[in-house]
Chains A and B, each alone.
Chain A
Amino acid sequence: MTVGAGPRLARGEHGLQRAGDSPVRRVSLWQRLRRRALAVYAFLALAYLFTPIAYLTVFSFNDSGKSNIVWKGFTLDNWKNPCGAPDVCTALGNSLKIGVISTTVATVLGTMIAFALARHRFRGRTATNLLIFVPMATPEVVLGASLLTLFLNFRVPLGMGTIIVAHVMFCISFVVVAVKARIASLDPALEQAAMDLYATEVQTFRRVTLPLVAPGIAAAALLSLSLSFDDFIITFFNSGNVNTFPKFVYVSALRGIPAQAYVIGVAMFYLALLIVLVAEVLRHRRERALH
């Protein structure tokens, strides 16, 4: 015991000496400088991210008429009546419908796969992983083109159905990855504890596993919804005559986009921001109330 204390003491002394050295102070000065430079850099990067949002916000108030390119004066009309421009709300409605349906399907199917991968041993694991990974590593234009080839070959009429099929397909993989990560981070002792406390396999899943994986499933669904809502390329290939919001914007870009489209796009952004910020504030408050 006495022998063991020797080297430890020596190491401690060494550390003490170093702390008083002057190079340390110089490093801290440099670090302070770097910290500020880093903050400025981060701020600039965020500003860059927000530049188009700011532009869209400003021009959503433009009294533009048909083509929203040059500033013509301030108006609230676009915000008061976002459906004012022809077709914009039909497209939005389609996008929301497609988003909700394909998110639901993709979340259910993806979650099932995630549980199989995280919790079971089975033959064909590698093949399964590959079938999940490769769609994520395939550019959208290839996904869109190949699906269209299939639909053309089998003479499937393009429309809402084909869009949903396509969206579910590319969302599944992302759901699997997100949910699987959540399941993997679960402490297996929790499910064992439930079984120990008289919960059958089914009850354990319902009362313990599912509630604990739920946040991961919710996050996956949210991701899937935003991927579906924002998708343009795959949709454009497989939509036929059905208009979605991104498609509407792209197609009308040639003729001039109505300011109402800006309103809708920007409103989506502010809505998302608001929801997350409120959740964050509530979380903070709850935490502060505890301590």
Chain B
Amino acid sequence: MAFTTAARTGGPVPAPAPPSSRLPRSRTPYLLLLPGLVWLGLFFAVPVATLFSTSLQTRVPGGEIGEYTQTFRFANYLDTIGEYHVQFVRSFLYAGLATVLALLIAYPLAYYIAQRAGRWRNILLVLVVAPFYASFILRTIAWRQILGEEGPIVPVLRFLHLIPAGATVTASAVAVVAGLTYNFLPFMTLPLYASLERIDPRFIEAGGDLYANPFTTFRRVTLPLSMPGVVAGTLLTFIPAAGDYINATLLGRQPKTTMIGNVVESRFLRVVDYPTAATLSFLLMAAILVLVFGYVRRAGTEELV
């Protein structure tokens, strides 16, 4: 397309961009796509459709536990929202808080590694990713132990009278948010690092030269240039955090810190109330997709995939 405009204006024409490395229209792409897309279709798209179908079912009158029939009862959604809106709001609130906290922790860390760490850069990067290799559940349990009654933190806090005698750190909303923040920190740090690393340090220096004030430089130069990393990082943190129930289970106290994931899990696996679980899952997925696409559009980075 660039060619057309250049030809019309007549002036010296820019070099034809590296001519298309022959993109043939053939059957090859379909053969390449087929197995993977069939897999995703069968085990992602079809299940989601099944989930939607299940969400409209109702209990068979007089049937056994776990026996449901399709009645296309869209009112299931209203019932579910009426019953679980608190957990919904709480999930998004916890996930939002954890995302903001993770961003605050990860940004300076990623900035330091990308721009200041010099030859230690790769080593530090490895150290950021490494904890990810010790099981997610184990790490969360470690936090429960560290912050728990027998752990080293609570006695110190009690001794310093920072918390009242009977109070605990775990089994609280604070612990759940802290756990979410911790567990998804690498997901925040890596994309941030990737975009900060790409910034030529001379831009930041030039910013310093033009604005002098480091804060203005950050706001006007560094932050906008690292926006793709911020968008990717917040999404990669927010999405799993909003659906998580491990942290709420291990670090929180039911029902005060129950998140939507806990409800889905218990409705599905314990209560065998499939329609409610399906309704909740579908609502969660829809809400997150709406948020994600809205966010991506606003942030202007469409190139996520």
Contact = CB atoms under 8 A, between A and B. Distances in A.
Contact present between A and B (CB < 8 A): yes
Interface of A: 18, 23, 27, 30-31, 34-35, 38-39, 41-42, 45-46, 48-53, 55-56, 59, 69-70, 109-110, 112-113, 115-116, 119-122, 128-129, 131-143, 145-150, 152-153, 165-166, 168-169, 172-173, 176-177, 188-189, 191-192, 226, 230, 232-233, 236-237, 245-246, 249-250, 253, 257, 261-262, 265-266, 268-269, 271-273, 276-277, 280
B199 interface: no
Contacts of A233: 243-246, 261
B122 A280 contact: yes
Contact of A188 (B18, B112, B150): B18
Nearest to A109: B36
Given A51-B146, A145-B264, A237-B269, A177 B305 contact: yes
A13 to B, nearest CB: 15
A150 B126 CA distance: 39
A145 B281 contact: yes
Given A276-B126, A277-B126, A34 B35 contact: no
B4 interface: no
A110 B36 contact: yes
Interface stretch (B136-144, B159-167, B221-229): B136-144
Contacts of A272: 130, 133
Contacts, number: 272
Interface in B23-37: 23-26, 28-30, 32-33, 35-37
Nearest to A186: B21
Contact of A139 (B40, B113, B134, B288): B288
B285 A142 contact: yes
A48 B41 CA distance: 40
Interface stretch (B5-13, B73-81, B103-111): B103-111
In this complex, the interface size class of chain B, counting residues with CB under 8 Å from chain A, is 35 or more
Contacts of A135: 40, 44
A32 to B, nearest CB: 11
Which 10 pairs across A and B sit closest by C-beta, in order of nearness?
A139-B243, A52-B142, A120-B29, A146-B47, A109-B36, A116-B32, A269-B134, A42-B112, A188-B21, A146-B51
Contacts of B260: 141
A138 B47 contact: no
B295 to A, nearest CB: 10
